[in-house]
């Protein structure tokens, strides 16, 4: 099967345009690969076939915040803005897991945007979804208490009841400082809600965490 055959969002493209995309070879990006940094020019539009990419923004103090994750079927808003508007990257993208990716070069991307309605629909639909998620992130950082954001992140990111992440990484996920996250996790631990291990947070009382997350602001 061609790689476009594994991407349902591209099913509406004209056959000749799908054939052109299929001539682009997928490539592997192991976990921890830096795909771009602030100031890099946008070379093309990345389609994620498998895996996950995290996109971060670093403030003047050096503190990071996780802007969004890109998984199969999703898009990188910074790449889209750079290709359409000409701006360089302002964030940093790192593969969170082993990924299989396809890079659509700038020229091919702009050509498809001009001549294929299905491709334009795919790009703008993914762009709109990403903008909604960015607005949701802004709302949470601005109005939701740290405890709520922390509890929600633990529930969403844990695998089999364990979140494999350091306190610094969790702080980046919720847009806070490591010291603040460490204090909140220590408080959760004293209440028996979580168990803190080296590089891991084990969830012991998901019902209580869900109640904290649901309290909102």
Query: Going from the N-terminus, what domains does the chain have, and what CATH number goes with each?
Result: 3-115 (2.60.120.10), 145-215 (1.10.10.10)
Element (H, E) at 18: helix 15-22
Tokens for 60, please give them: 């003047």
Confirm if 133 and 68 have CB atoms less than 8 A apart.
yes
pTM of the predicted structure, to 2 decimals: 0.70
Burial class of residue 4, CB neighbours in 10 A (0-12, 13-18, 19+):
buried
**What is the share, in percent, of the chain residues with pLDDT greater than 90?**
56
Q: Is the pLDDT of residue 105 over 80?
A: yes
Q: Is the pLDDT of residue 193 over 60?
A: yes
Q: Is the pLDDT of residue 217 over 70?
A: no
Would you state the pLDDT for residue 135? Answer: 82
Cα dist. 140→123, 150, 161, 200 in Å?
26, 11, 24, 24
Give the Cβ contact number of residue 38 at 10 Å: 13
Confidence of residue 206 (pLDDT cuts 50, 70, 90): very high
What does the radius of gyration of the chain's CA atoms come to, in whole angstroms? 19
Q: Is the pLDDT of residue 10 over 90?
A: no
């Amino acid at each position: 099967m061609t790689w476009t055959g594994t991407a349902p969002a591209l099913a509406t493209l004209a056959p000749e345009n799908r054939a052109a995309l299929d001539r682009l070879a997928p490539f592997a990006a192991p976990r921890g690969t830096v795909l771009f940094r602030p100031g890099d020019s946008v070379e093309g539009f990345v389609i994620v076939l498998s895996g996950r990419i995290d996109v971060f923004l670093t403030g003047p103090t050096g503190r990071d915040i996780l802007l969004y994750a890109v998984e199969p079927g999703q898009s990188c808003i910074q790449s889209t803005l750079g290709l359409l508007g000409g701006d360089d990257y302002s964030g940093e993208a790192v593969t969170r897991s082993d990924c299989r990716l396809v890079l659509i070069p700038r020229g091919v991307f702009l050509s498809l945007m001009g001549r294929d309605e299905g491709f334009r629909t795919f790009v703008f639909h993914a762009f709109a979804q990403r903008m909604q998620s960015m607005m949701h992130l802004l709302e949470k950082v601005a109005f939701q208490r740290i405890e709520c954001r922390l509890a929600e992140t633990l529930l969403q990111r844990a695998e089999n009841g364990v979140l494999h992440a350091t306190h610094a990484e969790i702080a980046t996920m919720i847009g806070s400082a490591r010291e603040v996250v460490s204090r909140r996790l220590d408080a959760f631990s004293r209440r028996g809600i979580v168990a803190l291990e080296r590089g891991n947070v084990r969830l012991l009382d998901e019902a209580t965490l869900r109640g904290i997350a649901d309290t909102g602001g």
